[in-house]
Structure 1
Amino acid sequence: MKVVLFCGGQGTRLRDYSDQIPKPLVPVGGRPILWHIMKYYASYGHKDFIICLGYKGEAIKQFFLDYDERVNNDFVFENGGAKIDVLQSDIQDWRITFVDTGQNTNIGGRLLRVREHLDGEEMFLANYADTLTDLDLDAMIQGFSATDAVAGFCCVKPPYSFHLVSFGNDSRVAQISDVKDSGMWMNGGYFALRPEIFDNLHEGEELVIEGFERLVGQKRLYAHQHESFWTCMDTFKEKQALDDRVAAGNTPWQVWKDD
């Protein structure tokens, strides 16, 4: 299946990096987070990507234009460089379509702008460019395929602790609780979509707001509950936590290592 990746945001909460490079190119353990996400999908056999570009999109194009398998993988060097045998490949069998979807376009608008590249697809995948997970993608797709839903997504429990507060009539606190104990779930990305999504999404609307609200009313929105590893990279603290995981060899999202 084709995979649409939303790579146009400015990543303002990672300002130290995003002033120089777009958020999808912010490195995690020496590799852009976008590479990790694409490698994840490729490990499940989904290697036909559509990248929705926006802020500093030219930098993402240049990253792939300059990508050298020999630099990024182990290789055997012989005869003073006359013969070089790369021992494994990262992206050789990937197909990537780069589409400028606008500087300030929202996610729904970016999806609409790549519609022509999805003609003929019975189903396709989509995702943000800042989330990592060990989600069993095959299981989610299988569950979604067994329904008549137009859209499906991975939902996760909030990964961080913060407090929810409810009030009585006099503005005094009636209850305070940790969100982790609330039973709430949140959108974790990793979307599976059928072409009918374009009938439920209009210019200027947001995919997860107006688009999904229509599908909720039709009872055609599917959620796959995932309780294992999931994280986003919105802040420097979250980026540092991912780097620490790489340094410790604790990288559950790198499911391709099990292949």
Structure 2
Amino acid sequence: MKVVLFCGGLGTRLREHSDTIPKPLVNIGYRPILWHLMRYYAHHGHKDFILCLGYRGDMIREFFLNYNECLTNDFVFSEGGRKIEPVRSDIQDWRITFVDTGLHANIGQRLRRVREYLKGEDMFMANYADGLTDLPLNDHIAQFQRSDAVASFIAVRTSQSFHCVHSDDNGTVTSFGQLSGSEFWINAGYFCLRQDIFDYVEEGDELVEQPFKRLIERKKLLVNRYGGFWQQMDTFKEKITYDRMEARGDCPWMVWRKS
């Protein structure tokens, strides 16, 4: 399945970094969070990516155009440097489509602008570029495939009240938005979508606002409540949290290492 990644936001809450580079290129260890996210999908067999670019999209293009695996992987140096042999390859079998989706476009409009690159795909995935998880991805996909939903996503438990989710026992979303309570399940991305999603996203719509309300009315929106690891990188504090986890080797999102 193709994977659409939304990489065009301004990242204003991570201003310590996003004034100079786009948030998807903020490093965790030696590599950008975008690389970690793509590596996660690739581990599960999904290696055909569409990057929705916006703010400093040129830097994301340059990162991949100048990508040198030897800078972050083990390699063998011989013949005075005339022969370089990486011990392993990260991205050799990835296919990446780079699309300028506008500087100020919202998520729904970025998705609409890559529709032509999704022709022939009955289903595809989409995600924000600032959150990582150890979610068993293919189980998440299989749950969606067994349903007649148009869209699904994961929800995680938090004390925040942004994009809160209520659902019935079958996972069908019954309400979405600002909800009351002391602890919430919120939208954490990792969307699975059918082509029908484009029938619900109109010009100017934000994906998880008007389109999701239309899906809820038709009982076509599914949620997968996940209690495992999920962490966004939306602020400088969260960036430091990731750096500390990486420094001590506590990286649950690196599912490729476990196998």
Query: TM-score, normalization: structure 2?
Result: 0.90
1:149 aligns with 2:149: yes
| Cα distance between partner residues in 2 of 1:10 and 1:92 | 29
Q: Deviations over 1:4-57 (max 9, x none)?
A: 000000000111111110010011112101001000000000000000000000
Q: Deviations over 1:87-142 (max 9, x none)?
A: 10111110000000000000000000000000000100000000011111111101
**Percent identity between the two aligned chains:** 59
1:17 aligns with 2:32: no
| Cα distance between partner residues in 2 of 1:80 and 1:3 | 40
Q: 1:13 to 1:205 in 2, by over 3 A?
A: same
1:183 deviation in Å?
Answer: 5.1
One-letter code of the match for 2:37? I
| Cα distance between partner residues in 1 of 2:210 and 2:48 | 28
Deviates more, 1:66-75 or 1:3-12: 66-75
Across the aligned residues of Structure 1 and Structure 2, the Cα RMSD in angstroms comes to 1.4
- 1:39 paired residue number: 39
One-letter code of the match for 1:42? A
Question: 1:219-238 alignment to 2 at 5 Å?
Answer: 219-238=219-238
One-letter code of the match for 1:17? H
Larger radius of gyration: 1
One-letter code of the match for 1:142? A
Q: Deviations over 1:159-188 (max 9, x none)?
A: 669xxxxxxxxxxxxxxxxx9x84521000
Q: Is the 8 A contact 2:158 2:183 kept in 1?
A: no
Where in structure 2 are there 5+ consecutive unaligned residues? 162-178
Q: Is the 8 A contact 1:25 1:32 kept in 2?
A: yes
Q: Which runs of 4+ in 1 moved over 4 A?
A: none
| Cα distance between partner residues in 2 of 1:218 and 1:182 | 28
| Cα distance between partner residues in 2 of 1:13 and 1:153 | 24
| Cα distance between partner residues in 2 of 1:134 and 1:145 | 20
| Cα distance between partner residues in 2 of 1:109 and 1:205 | 7
One-letter code of the match for 1:106? N
| Cα distance between partner residues in 2 of 1:103 and 1:3 | 21
Q: Is the 8 A contact 1:229 1:252 kept in 2?
A: yes
| Cα distance between partner residues in 2 of 1:160 and 1:102 | 29
1:241 aligns with 2:241: yes
1:89 aligns with 2:89: yes
Query: TM-score, normalization: structure 1?
Result: 0.90
Question: 1:68-217 alignment to 2 at 5 Å?
Answer: 68-158=68-158, 182=182, 184-217=184-217
Task: Tell me how many residue pairs correspond in the alignment.
Answer: 241
Q: 1:23 to 1:155 in 2, by over 3 A?
A: same
1:238 deviation in Å?
Answer: 0.4
One-letter code of the match for 1:217? E
